[in-house]
Amino acid sequence: MNDPLAHVRDLFDLDDDVVYLDGNSLGAPPRVVAERVREVVREQWGRRLIRGWSEGWWEAPERIGNRIGRLLGAAPGQVLVADSTSVNLFKALMAAVRNTDRAEIVVDAGTFPSDGYVARSVAELTGLALRPAPPEDLDLRDTTAVVLLNHVDYRTGRLLDMAELTAQAHAVGAKVVWDLCHSAGVLPIELDALGVDLAVGCTYKFLNGGPGSPAFIYVPRHGQAAFEQPLTGWTGHEVPFAMDPEYRPDPGVSRARVGTPDIISMLALEAALEVWDHVDLRDVRAKGLALTAHFRSLVEGLPGIEVITPADEWRGHQVSLRHPDADRLVERLAERQVIGDHRPPDVLRFGFAPLYNTFDEATRAATTLKELL
């Protein structure tokens, strides 16, 4: 099959014996990362010591945020790399409901658990109600303060219509927060053009930042003055080194900062993002759709298997299958060097990372599954 991204796989450190289809949980390492981390530890930390902070470390969250912003349709100065997705979600939701006279927070019913837990906590802290609702019938009202949506459903792989649902929220005067964990780096996103209020996402999946690499938060320029987040740490201060006893937030996206950034992880992520210099997101999307369609065509109709990922283009780059023995099948696939994952109770997930997965790997995975069944 024609693969315009075939050359990109060589940029990754992968074992050809392993069919790795879990890049939607933890992306594979670009080769450049190991050398960069070594350089950061030996040269930057080792030789420059504290001077590193004024030689590129302090601004890393904004600099790397701008780089991620290019993949999200966000102009510079609006994306910050910091903390985990869960923590950024807490900042975003608390800021979205501060000073509201509205009564409820809406969350998509199939949300990733952490998002649901954080939304529950924000509701309890602020006295708002939390209402889970299916994305096809959010039933937004003039009492809805904010709606939290997962762009791609982590379990089924369903992709939501960001334009349509953002417009629905705005039509009733509600804000929308998008969780982009499973869509960042997968498909073209237009946060600025769609007028999205806030967005968060992680960098260790399709952006290949490494285990626990810091997450991102998008705060559009027009919303920055009103973005009053609850974790008022010193690095979000307008003049951190003034050591001012009064908190005065930075006027820009840096007000989303909390404490000292995790520089080694952050610079590993920065190195990993270099692979994006060699690709066009439209090619990534096209290959992701082709890879998942190919795999789907091979597993559909296998005994006991139900494909739960949408067949149309409203899907991300995973194929989720339902089978009563999902757990054991995932284990047995791994024994045969095919790595996917299991989500309870009965879902097998196979993530396809277009930068490094091949059509041949999709075939090998499907053939192995067929043998096991």
Minimum CB separation of residue 343 from ligand 3DJ in Å reads: 6
Catalytic residue among 204, 218, 350, 352, which? 204
Please enumerate in sequence order all residues whose Cβ is within 8 A of that of 201, keeping only pairs 6 or more positions apart, or say none.
85, 179, 180, 181, 183, 184, 215, 216
In the region spanning residues 205 to 224, those forming contacts with ligand PLP, defined by CB under 6 A, are 215
Minimum CB separation of residue 245 from ligand PLP in Å reads: 31
Q: Which is nearer to ligand 3DJ, 194 or 338 (CB)?
A: 338
90 CB burial (10 A radius; 0-12, 13-18, 19+): buried
115 has binding-site annotation? yes
Is 349 an annotated catalytic residue?
yes
User: What character string, x for contact with ligand PLP (CB under 6 A) and - otherwise, covers 167-206?
Assistant: ------------x-xx-------------------x----
114 has binding-site annotation? yes
Catalytic residue among 9, 131, 175, 205, which? 205
204 has binding-site annotation? yes
Is 247 an annotated catalytic residue?
no
The correct pick among 112, 206, 276, 350 for binding ligand PLP (CB under 6 A) is 112
The correct pick among 53, 56, 86, 238 for binding ligand PLP (CB under 6 A) is 86
Catalytic residue among 90, 112, 216, 352, which? 112
Q: Which does 232 bind (CB under 5 to 8 A by kind): ligand PLP, ligand 3DJ, none?
A: none
The correct pick among 3, 4, 14, 25 for binding ligand 3DJ (CB under 6 A) is 25
The correct pick among 22, 115, 270, 361 for binding ligand PLP (CB under 6 A) is 115
Residues in the chain: 373
| Binding of residue 84 to ligand PLP (CB under 6 A) | yes
Catalytic residue among 9, 175, 257, 349, which? 349
323 has binding-site annotation? no
User: What character string, x for contact with ligand 3DJ (CB under 6 A) and - otherwise, covers 134-163?
Assistant: --------------------x---------
368 has binding-site annotation? no
Q: Which is nearer to ligand 3DJ, 174 or 347 (CB)?
A: 347
| Binding of residue 262 to ligand PLP (CB under 6 A) | no
Q: Are 96 and 146 spatial neighbours (Cβ–Cβ below 8 Å)?
A: yes
3-state secondary structure the chain: CCCCCHHHHHHECCCCCCEECECCCCCCCECHHHHHHHHHHHHHHHHHHHHHHHCCCCCHHHHHHHHHHHHHCCCCCCEEECCCHHHHHHHHHHHHHCCCCCCEEEEECCCCHHHHHHHHHHHHHHCCEEEEECHHHCCCCCCEEEEEEECECCCCCEECCHHHHHHHHHHCCCEEEEECCCCCCCCCCCHHHHCCCEEEECCCCCCCCCCCCCCEEECCHHHCCCCCCCCCCHHHECCHHHCCCCCCECCCHHHHCCCCCCHHHHHHHHHHHHHHHHCCHHHHHHHHHHHHHHHHHHHCCCCCCEECCCCCCCECCEEEEECCCHHHHHHHHHHCCEECEEECCCEEEEECCCCCCCHHHHHHHHHHHHHHC
Q: Which does 114 bind (CB under 5 to 8 A by kind): ligand PLP, ligand 3DJ, none?
A: ligand PLP
Residues that bind ligand 3DJ (CB under 6 A): 25, 154
Catalogue the active-site residues: 112, 179, 204-205, 349
Q: From the annotation, which residues make up the binding site for pyridoxal 5'-phosphate?
A: 85-86, 112-115, 179, 182, 204, 234, 260
Q: From the annotation, which residues make up the binding site?
A: 85-86, 112-115, 179, 182, 204, 234, 260
